[in-house]
Amino acid sequence: MSDPNTVSVSLMGKEYMIACPPGAEAQLQEAADFLNSKMKEIRGSGKIIGLERIAVLAALNISHEYLQHNQQQNKQAELEQRQVDMEVQLQRLNQRLDSTLQKRSPRSDG
């Protein structure tokens, strides 16, 4: 296993040295940029003062958005599965109906 790399990220004008696995530097920087933008939004609202409070509120907001997104994905997957189940059930009903109709229909042999 290779040693982690150290990446410098800036949050609200403060530099932080963060360890990350080799090859994940760009993802770490993207995450830091996203967090920084969320923290600046909160600071810009003028309602929250203090870096720690802003960071906690940003973390809570991001967590809430993440959970909502997961919940929506789970609902979508559930709906898709229901649709598949209904299609299978309809196919079975159609087969039964076809079979019943074939048994009852008079055959004309000429």
**Could you state, in chain order, the average pLDDT of each consecutive group of 10 residues for the chain (110 residues)?**
86 95 95 96 90 95 97 95 96 92 71
pLDDT of residue 69: 96
What does the alpha-carbon distance between residue 31 and residue 5 come to, in Å, rounded to a whole number?
16
Please tell me whether residue 52 adopts helix, strand or coil conformation: helix
pLDDT of residue 2: 72
pLDDT of residue 14: 95
pTM for this one? 0.68
pLDDT of residue 3: 79
Q: Domain 5-103: which topology?
A: Double Stranded RNA Binding Domain (3.30.160)
